Amino acid sequence: GIRDVERYRGLGDVYKRQFIMKSINSKLFFLIAVFIIISFGKNEVDLVVINAKIYTVNDEFSIAKSMAIKNGEIIDIDTDNLDSKYNYKKIIDLDGQTIIPGIIDSHCHFYNLGLDQQVVDLRETKSFDEIIQRLKNYELNNDTDVIMGRGWDQNDWDKKSFPVNTKLNEEFKNKLVVLERIDGHAYIVNDNVLELSGIDKNTLVRGGLVLLKDDKPTGVLIDGPMSLVDQVLPEKTLNEKINALKQAEEICFSYGLTTVDDAGLSTNITSIIDSLHKSNDLKIKIYAMISVSKKNIEKFKKEGRYKSKKLNIRSFKVYGDGALGSRGAVLKNPYCDDPHNYGILRTSADDLKYYAKEIAEMGFQMNTHAIGDSTVSVLLNEYKKVLSEIDDPRWRIEHSQVVDMNEFELYNDKILPSIQPTHATSDMYWAYDRLGSRIKGAYAFKDLLKSSNRVALGTDFPVEKVNPFHTFYSSVERKDLKGYPENGFQMENSLSREETLKGMTIWGAYFNFEEHEKGSLEVGKSADFVVLNQNIMEVEADLIPNTEVLQTYIDGELVYSK
């Protein structure tokens, strides 16, 4: 410094200007060089998200501000912004908006949701006459010999008994009409379908009923006999199946679902899903429960589990009983509003034992539909016997809807409850009529959590609506969308917001043996995340159902944007 000052004093004006420029250029070169060195020293990433409120759902349930994503995985997440730390291809400034991990619906019927887009919507009908009118409107605009519908619920009608198909026969003389109850456990069909299916007053099918009136079938089929109808309906074309999957995906992405557990798929559909995944025509991640049969048991004995980036096959779906709404759930004591009826066991006790033994030996997971306390009891005890020597089976009882108060303690880290909170708020208008005092053990989410330490939450769509924020609200507030009941339904069994978010993310991943790859936003995990228009962890509770998804990402790729 002193030498430069002395040199500067001895120079003429021209030389002084040259000296200054040379000095500036040297420093500029030095700064550029430093910038280049620093830049080359930075890792390059695909995406940086900054200025967000990120609920990581890690073990500490910590909140971050920024994350960096490369090759579909989170490589960094911090409470400070990371934009200066990385070279990035894209940056998103969320200006304080909320991010949660990609939502996992732990029990749904993804493929059926797509199929439902191809049939008449019968939800929220108030009478059988309204159903007839919707079918006639559909017939005017569709040239078809088969009319399919889904979504009716006689509990929503003024006359709450099952109908007789007389009007279907009168209005649709040359058509086949098949109308599925909202829970998928009953059909109303016209006589053309009964005749084609070979169903008459003498038809007996295990695990179901043909309802009669005046010694003649009414057209109402509960559970088992529905399979006779399914066998004679026209097979869906490949294009119809693919369109159903794509339509279902589009709907799910709009609600922030990034993984769906489809409870009961055929191997034909899982093959189509796998093919669509490989061609990148389907992006949603699917945990597939294979519909159980002895044929499928033998198939997977030979082939074993299947796992790709987006498809996981390692479980079987078994049906224990029917539904509470159609009085098909098996109870230890008769229905209060139908004193001679105990419900219908859809899979015999012998078959349940056979499936449990085979599935355990294969190292697969057994996921059994169980609504009534009798069915739940049978499964808790059968699971316990079979799993005694298996370290980490994570077998599931799907729904776990009505549990004997003395048997909650039989749930544990081997026997896990998969539950659907909106069932409680949909069913509470009539559930007490069916169960009486047994209602205390019904929809008991907190009691189940205390025993198992984790619960996986889902919707059972299309039985319920796809919207996971209805699930969140029902879980926390135990009210329906009308705010009923005012003080919540059996609030001692509500879950906290943190427990609910875990049930929709990391616990769902755990139930699928995928907790090391998804379910929380942590380094090394898939960048599956959702941007919300409001903070569901802080907003006034009654506003939770109004939550909207602004963006959905899978493996760092934007798959939906509002």
Q: Would you state the pLDDT for residue 158?
A: 86
What pLDDT was estimated at residue 498? 98
φ/ψ of residue 276, rounded to 5? -65, -35
Strand partners, 226: none
The confidence score (pLDDT) of residue 5 equals 45
pLDDT for res 160: 87
φ and ψ at 207, to 5 degrees?
80, 25
Answer whether the bond into residue 163 is a cis peptide, omega within 30°: no
User: Would you say how long the chain is, in residues?
Assistant: 562
Going by C-alpha positions, the residue among 464, 525, 531 that lies closest to residue 94 is: 531
The angle formed by the CA atoms of residues 541, 546 and 550, to the nearest 5 degrees, is: 120
- Give Cα 156 to chain centroid, integer Å: 25
Q: What CA–CA distance (Å, rounded) separates 116 from 111?
A: 9
> Where do we find the tokens 């009319």?
147
306-307 and 43-50 beta bridge pairing: unpaired
Q: Give the pLDDT of residue 387.
A: 98
Q: 226 CB contacts (<8 Å, ≥6 apart)? A: 186, 187, 208
Strand partners, 90: 47
Q: How far apart are CA 74 and CA 58, in angstroms?
A: 13
What type of residue is 304?
Answer: G
Q: Exposure string (b/e) for 95-109, b if CB count within 10 Å is 16 or more?
A: eebbbbbbbbbbbbb
pLDDT (tens place) for every residue of the chain, 562 residues total: 444 544 545 555 655 566 555 655 555 555 454 444 444 557 999 999 999 999 999 999 999 999 999 999 999 999 999 999 999 999 999 999 999 999 999 999 999 999 999 999 999 999 999 999 999 999 998 888 999 999 999 988 988 889 999 999 999 999 999 999 988 889 999 999 999 999 999 998 888 899 999 999 999 999 999 999 999 998 999 999 999 999 999 999 999 999 999 999 999 999 999 999 999 999 999 999 999 999 999 999 999 999 999 999 999 999 999 999 989 999 999 999 999 999 999 999 999 999 999 999 999 999 999 999 999 999 999 999 999 999 999 999 999 999 999 999 999 999 999 999 999 999 999 999 999 999 999 999 999 999 999 999 999 999 999 999 999 999 999 999 999 999 999 999 999 999 999 999 999 999 999 999 999 999 999 999 999 999 999 999 999 999 999 999 999 999 999 9
How many helices and strands in the chain, by DSSP H and E? Answer: 18, 25
Q: How far apart are CA 337 and CA 363, in angstroms?
A: 42
- Give the Cα separation of 64 and 50 in Å (integer): 10
